[in-house]
Amino acid sequence: MNKIFTKKRLGLAATCSLSFVFGAFVWHQVDTNLITTDVVREAQKVIGMEFSPSQQDSMLTALNGMAKTYQELRKLNLPNSTVPALNFNPVPVGFTNPDKVSGFKLSKIEAVKMPADKNELAFYTVRQLAELIRTKQITSVELTTFFLDRLKKYNSKLLFVVNFTEEHALKQAAQADAEIAAGKYKGVLHGIPFGVKDLLSSADSKTTFGATPYKEQAFGIDATVVKKLEDAGAVLIAKLTLGELAQGDTWFGGKTRNPWDITRGSSGSSAGPASAVAAGCVPFAIGSETLGSIVSPSTECGDTGLRPSFGRVSKYGAMALSWSMDKLGPICRSVEDDAIVFNTIQGTDPNDPSTIAAPFKYDGTVKDLKGWKIGYLKAAFDSRRTQNHVNDSLTLVKLKELGAELVPVELPKMSAGPLTFVLNAEAAAAFQELVLNHKDDMLAQQRKGSWPNNFRYGQFIPAVEYIQANRARTILIQQWYEQLKGLDLYVAPSFSQNLQLTNLTGNPCVVLPNGLNVRGLPASITFMGQLFGEGKTLMAAKIYQDATDFNKKHPTLNF
């Protein structure tokens, strides 16, 4: 049974039921036998079915009994950390892992020297900073202080920090320095500062989910991802913003801004991680994606992000939005930094039954794509209506120059769009307590497409239709697996039907800059892997990134 990490639970209001009043509905306290044939007659419009009067009458005993059952279940006050007794399995029939064995080999790095202007460290990669620490040109305490100072300097404009973890960070950095001085160097992440999206618990700080109802929430444990990084010697310096409950870039403290243009939001929901990395205020950060929350802010801010395959990284200690779609991954300055962080955080976890064992093999010394078969979504690349058509086309040209054989690919016949209500159904369950307690009114975003409204209408999604959608999802997964057979990976415009599709199928994605748009802001492309194919996907993306300089462009921060 999954451990419950919540210390303080928000209590539910009085038991509630749904009553139709002149075509509207209200939550109110009831005892029994509220549901009548008039209620059933109206309710069947919601599910798109029609039953005869006698059939409606026959349902009443069972429906009123179910209403009592729901009331009893609500008394359990289920915390967000309690997972369903059902696990999503993204593995198609006939699947074999792309990587047969595990292995991790970094590219060769030239000697790194401390810059004359220390401010240049802000945009060094993890590899470069690690060399400075390894060769004792800088200490972890010095580096940690440097990035804490930058976070404080730019936070008033960019609004990317929820809570600083300064006291904890300086202790961790001092410990790292002592270990390194004693000859106990742990590896590339030893002494490197980082931040996490504030839906990940850390023992010494609050975990607010970016939302007013949870501003004072603290769990007193480290999420598995945080623990793995700290065990590798990395230093947590800040809890970074997310759009409230992982939607958008607006949280209870305001709107997180894009360092390239502070009149713009940083997009979401990994708003703080993307903004802080782009502004040179953390070397890397951990974000999350359910339906675009790494891809979108990484694009907006010009970062390089990895959304791993579903099940690759433990979600223990993370806020649940959708148990079958949530993924945690790194947002960095380079593909190889993504590979370094992913290699540390990936793997199974007994605390998270959704994790799946699979090999991971990465070789950063490979220089070209000769012999690689890389698919591309032909219709999406051919469309001149896409925001990034010119840059995306040039990406295909560069991949050919690097030796890749490009193979046109079509999306599956089944559309992914109608299945995305799976997310709303699971999110409505994860945060039902807000609806029952009317605390959904405390959220800042109250548009029709915002979570409060989604949580409310999600209460009407029938369990039968949710199950049917997941059965259709099984077909979609199998269709996509069959279409990708024989390919090492494929590329896709960042914002196309592919984004919905692969968040449902669980395929991994590397999003990286591939130019600037007409406004002079970053644009991106996505390298898409076979399920558990992060190794080849990262390798191909690195080869492309090394042949360009888009990830080396940074905002000027003249504010």
Q: Which two tokens stand for residue 44?
A: 């069947």
Structural contact between residues 522 and 552, judged by C-beta atoms closer than 8 angstroms:
no
Q: Is 45 among the catalytic positions?
A: no
Q: Is 215 among the catalytic positions?
A: no
Distance CA 111, CA 133 (A): 12
Report which DSSP code applies to 5. -
405 bridge partner residues: 373
Q: Is the peptide bond before 269 cis (omega within 30 degrees of 0)?
A: yes
Report which DSSP code applies to 82. P
Single out the catalytic residue among 81, 201, 267, 269. Answer: 269
Q: Is 205 among the catalytic positions?
A: no
CB-facing half-sphere around the CA of 137: CA atoms within 13 A: 14
| Cα–Cα distance list, 484 to 155, 409, 477, 502 (Å) | 43, 8, 11, 12
The dihedral through the CA atoms of 228, 234, 235, 236 has a sign that is negative
Distance CA 54, CA 77 (A): 37
Q: Which two tokens stand for residue 541?
A: 């993306």
490: three-class secondary structure by DSSP: strand
Single out the catalytic residue among 17, 202, 275, 293. Answer: 293
Report which DSSP code applies to 266. -
Single out the catalytic residue among 197, 227, 536, 542. Answer: 197
If you write DSSP's letter for every residue of 499-559 in order, what string do you get? HHHHHHHT--EEEEEEEE-TTS-EEEEEEEESTT-HHHHHHHHHHHHHT--GGG-------
Distance CA 77, CA 187 (A): 43
251: three-class secondary structure by DSSP: strand
* Active site (catalytic) residues: 197, 269, 293
